[in-house]
């Protein structure tokens, strides 16, 4: 705009100079006409002014005025070409540089051939554009390395760089949050929030893969924890190799290639596309994230996927660490031989079990059991056969109890079962079923079959005691009475005779085995 005003001003100035020169020439022409006699002025007046209108004076004056007018015009043209026009072109180039910079283009430069402050401004501006160009290009290259995101057709590099940096700051905050989370479930929930709230996707599944067991199960489905397998066939849960993303370790694009995976399941009335991303844990697939969208939403995937992968990549090591910690904790609370919970588990969860039964107003039946003459098995057949007997007993206990019940290897050949019952004295019935099943159990050993029996003592909380440890002690007392009375039987504390507590250590040593 300023350049246009300057150009118009110069045009008006030039026209004004020409008009001035034309006026002077016209004046001289009138003066010459009067001198020759063309004028109607009386001769007396002409004679009185003859000293001013003599031919020599008129010629000199007219020539001087013409030369002066030409000098003014030439001077104006010189000023315009030498100073005004270069400044005008430079201002136009500076305006173009600023306009391109606002659009994210930093490869345009201003003219710097004008002397003075304007030229210095152009030089400084070009230097600033060089720095911005190098800096933004470096940021964009780093972004490509971090996210594998190529902004095709994106001209505003500065805006893109700002948005990417903001996203990376969010990723850094996300990493800190999940590192401070206590369990992997909390991490999965945060990933679900990112998928839903940041990227606006409502249909998705996060699978956890167990390569050693060839299984994968959904841990988060459309924001719901521990949901059913919603967008894949149920078989993938028990045969993880059926999942193409898990098997190949590569992204599966079911939007561009709808028939690429035959395990995708869509029971809706309208077509849906899917995008499955494997998440690697130490070189193996530990998770699979499945996104399900309508076809018209798939155009956003090229922008969403690179940034979502950054979140998943940052979370992979954290999830792997928390899974490992859970396995270590589980191994510390599990008996490695039988796979049952151990005594330490009972000690840690005792208060939780009691509080749950009190809240639900239910009875707890404690079954203490011991294999009869188990030491003889180890002495006669060896420890391998003894281990097989213990595993077989653990299998019986798991079959005869419910998922809500607690089965514990208490130590050696001693086992404990804690039953949650709605009515009192139901523990005796379960204990009798366990005894009968163990009595009929045939265990294959080298040279034939082995059959064993079991003795069980039963006590009930809170019927036999308001303290759980006291109830366990009474169940232990009932167990050794069963041993004393001939083994292979169930004895309930409430139905047995009361004995002196001080004598029970001797009874324990006498009848165990």
Render pLDDT for 326-377 as a digit per residue (tens, 0 to 9).
Answer: 888 888 899 999 999 999 999 888 888 888 888 888 899 999 999 999 999 9
Helix, coil or strand: residue 281: strand
Q: Using pLDDT thresholds of 50, 70 and 90, give the confidence band for residue 270.
A: confident
Look at residues 417, 438, 415 and name the one whose alpha carbon lies nearest to residue 427. Answer: 417
Q: Looking at residue 26, what is its pLDDT?
A: 58
Q: Looking at residue 197, what is its pLDDT?
A: 93
Whether residue 365 is contained in a domain is answered as yes
Residues 463 and 393 in one domain: yes
Please report which helix (H) or strand (E) contains residue 123, including its range.
Answer: helix 117-147
Give the pLDDT mean for 79-84: 66
* Tens digits of residue pLDDT in 14-34: 656 666 666 655 555 555 555
Domain extent at residue 243 = 181-332
Give the pLDDT mean for 294-305: 82
Whether residue 120 is contained in a domain is answered as no
Count CB atoms within 10 A of the CB of residue 278.
24
Mean pLDDT in the chain?
81
HEC per residue, 483-504: HHCCCCCEEEHHHCCCCCHHHH
Residues 80 and 192 in one domain: no
pLDDT at 464 > cutoff 80: yes
Into how many domains does the chain fold? 3
Q: How far apart are CA 392 and CA 441, in angstroms?
A: 8
- Strands of 273-281's sheet, edge to edge? 224-225, 215-221, 203-210, 284-293, 273-281, 252-253
Residues 351 and 323 in one domain: no
Q: Looking at residue 32, what is its pLDDT?
A: 52
Q: How far apart are CA 492 and CA 459, in angstroms?
A: 6
Whether residue 82 is contained in a domain is answered as yes
Residues 353 and 322 in one domain: no
Give the pLDDT mean for 116-143: 77
Residues 33 and 92 in one domain: yes
Q: Using pLDDT thresholds of 50, 70 and 90, give the confidence band for residue 47.
A: very low
Q: How far apart are CA 489 and CA 432, in angstroms?
A: 8
pLDDT at 159 > cutoff 50: yes
Domain harbouring 397, CATH code: 3.30.70.270
Q: How far apart are CA 132 and CA 158, in angstroms?
A: 9
Residues 80 and 207 in one domain: no
Q: Looking at residue 29, what is its pLDDT?
A: 54
pLDDT at 468 > cutoff 80: yes
More confident residue, 255 or 76: 255
Q: Looking at residue 38, what is its pLDDT?
A: 44
Give the up-direction half-sphere exposure of residue 193: CA atoms within 13 A in the CB hemisphere.
10
More confident residue, 241 or 148: 241
CA dihedral 228, 231, 234, 240 (to 10 degrees): -110
Share of the chain above pLDDT 90, in %: 41
Whether residue 161 is contained in a domain is answered as no
Phi, psi of 324 (to 5 degrees): -65, -40
Count CB atoms within 10 A of the CB of residue 242.
18
Give the pLDDT mean for 463-478: 92
Q: Using pLDDT thresholds of 50, 70 and 90, give the confidence band for residue 275.
A: very high
Residues 211 and 318 in one domain: yes
Top mean-pLDDT range of 126-130, 347-351, 471-475: 471-475
Residues 284 and 429 in one domain: no
HEC per residue, 417-479: EEEEECCCCCHHHHHHHHHHHHHHCCEEECCEEECCCEEEEEEEECCCCCCHHHHHHHHHHHH
Give the pLDDT mean for 117-128: 79
Helix, coil or strand: residue 248: helix
Give the pLDDT mean for 139-164: 66
Residues 226 and 247 in one domain: yes
Whether residue 143 is contained in a domain is answered as no
Q: Looking at residue 419, what is its pLDDT?
A: 93
Look at residues 477, 345, 473, 492 and name the one whose alpha carbon lies nearest to residue 407. Answer: 345
Residues 306 and 366 in one domain: no
Whether residue 155 is contained in a domain is answered as no
Q: Looking at residue 507, what is its pLDDT?
A: 40
Q: Looking at residue 73, what is its pLDDT?
A: 73
Domain C-terminal end among 102, 119, 148? 102
Burial of 240 (0-12, 13-18, 19+ CB in 10 A): buried
Pairing mode of beta strands 414-421, 406-411: antiparallel
Q: How far apart are CA 31 and CA 48, in angstroms?
A: 15
Residues 399 and 506 in one domain: yes
More confident residue, 146 or 192: 192
pLDDT at 2 > cutoff 80: no
Q: Looking at residue 391, what is its pLDDT?
A: 94
Q: Looking at residue 80, what is its pLDDT?
A: 64
Give the pLDDT mean for 138-147: 68
* Tens digits of residue pLDDT in 411-446: 999 999 999 876 788 899 999 999 999 999 998 888
Q: How far apart are CA 287 and CA 284, in angstroms?
A: 9
Q: How far apart are CA 346 and CA 348, in angstroms?
A: 6
More confident residue, 66 or 376: 376
pLDDT at 137 > cutoff 90: no
Beta strands in 249-324 (DSSP E): 252-253, 273-281, 284-293
* Furthest C-alpha separation in the chain: 171
Domain C-terminal end among 59, 77, 102? 102
Q: Looking at residue 506, what is its pLDDT?
A: 42
Residues 321 and 352 in one domain: no
Specify whether the CB–CB gap between 252 and 275 falls below 8 A: yes
Give the pLDDT mean for 193-212: 93
Domain harbouring 308, CATH code: 3.30.450.40
Q: How far apart are CA 410 and CA 413, in angstroms?
A: 8
Domain C-terminal end among 304, 332, 360? 332
Q: Using pLDDT thresholds of 50, 70 and 90, give the confidence band for residue 511.
A: very low
Q: Which residues contact 468 (CB under 8 A, 6 or more apart)?
A: 350, 353, 354, 364, 461
Whether residue 60 is contained in a domain is answered as yes
DSSP 114: S
Specify whether the CB–CB gap between 171 and 311 falls below 8 A: yes
Whether residue 237 is contained in a domain is answered as yes
Handedness of CA 331, 460, 433, 386 (dihedral sign): positive
DSSP 269: S
Report the range of poorest mean pLDDT among 198-207, 315-324, 327-336: 327-336
DSSP 284: E
Q: Using pLDDT thresholds of 50, 70 and 90, give the confidence band for residue 243.
A: very high
Q: Looking at residue 480, what is its pLDDT?
A: 92
Q: How far apart are CA 398 and CA 417, in angstroms?
A: 10
């Amino acid at each position: 705009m300023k350049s246009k005003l300057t150009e118009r001003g110069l045009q008006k100035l030039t026209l004004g100079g020409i008009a001035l020169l034309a006026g002077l020439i016209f004046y001289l022409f009138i003066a010459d006409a009067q001198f020759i006699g063309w004028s109607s002025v009386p001769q007396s007046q002409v004679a009185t002014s003859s000293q001013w209108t003599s031919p020599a004076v008129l010629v000199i004056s007219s020539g001087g005025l013409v030369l002066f007018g030409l000098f003014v015009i030439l001077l104006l043209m010189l000023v315009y070409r030498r100073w005004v026009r270069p400044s005008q072109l430079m201002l136009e180039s500076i305006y173009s540089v600023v306009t391109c910079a606002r659009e994210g283009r930093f490869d345009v430069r201003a003219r710097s051939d004008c002397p003075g402050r304007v030229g210095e401004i152009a030089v400084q501006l070009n230097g600033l554009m060089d720095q911005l160009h190098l800096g933004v290009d470096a940021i964009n290259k780093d972004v490509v390395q971090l996210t594998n995101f190529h902004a095709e057709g994106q001209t505003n590099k500065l805006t893109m760089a700002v948005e990417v940096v903001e996203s990376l700051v969010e990723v850094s905050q996300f990493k800190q949050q999940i590192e401070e989370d206590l369990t992997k479930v909390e991490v999965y929930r945060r990933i679900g929030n990112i998928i839903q709230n940041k990227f606006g996707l409502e249909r998705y599944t996060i699978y956890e893969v167990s390569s050693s067991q060839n299984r994968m199960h959904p841990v988060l489905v459309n924001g719901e924890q521990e949901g059913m397998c919603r967008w894949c066939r149920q078989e993938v849960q028990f045969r993880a190799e059926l999942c193409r993303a898990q098997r190949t370790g590569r992204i599966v694009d079911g939007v561009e290639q709808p028939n690429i995976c035959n395990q995708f399941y869509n029971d809706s009335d309208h077509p849906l596309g899917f995008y499955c991303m494997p998440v690697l844990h130490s070189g193996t697939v530990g998770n699979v994230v499945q996104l399900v969208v309508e076809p018209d939403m798939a155009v956003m995937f090229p922008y969403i996927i690179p940034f979502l992968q950054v979140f998943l990549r940052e979370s992979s090591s954290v999830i792997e660490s928390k899974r490992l910690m859970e396995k270590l904790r589980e191994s510390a609370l599990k008996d490695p031989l039988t796979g049952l919970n151990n005594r330490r588990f009972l000690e840690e969860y005792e208060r939780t079990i009691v509080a749950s039964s009190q809240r639900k107003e239910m009875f707890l039946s404690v079954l203490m059991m011991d294999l009869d003459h188990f030491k003889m098995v180890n002495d006669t057949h060896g420890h391998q056969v003894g281990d097989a007997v213990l595993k077989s007993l653990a299998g019986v206990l798991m079959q005869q109890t419910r998922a809500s019940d607690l089965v514990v290897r208490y130590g050696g050949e001693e086992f404990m079962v804690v039953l949650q019952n709605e009515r009192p004295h139901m523990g005796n019935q379960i204990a009798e079923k366990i005894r009968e099943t163990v009595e009929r159990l045939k265990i294959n050993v080298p040279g034939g079959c082995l059959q064993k029996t079991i003795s069980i003592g039963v006590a009930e909380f809170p019927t036999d005691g308001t303290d759980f440890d006291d109830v366990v002690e009474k169940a232990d007392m009932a167990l050794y009475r069963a041993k004393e009375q001939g083994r292979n039987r169930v004895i309930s504390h409430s139905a047995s005779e009361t004995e002196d507590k001080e004598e029970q250590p001797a009874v324990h040593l006498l009848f165990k085995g």
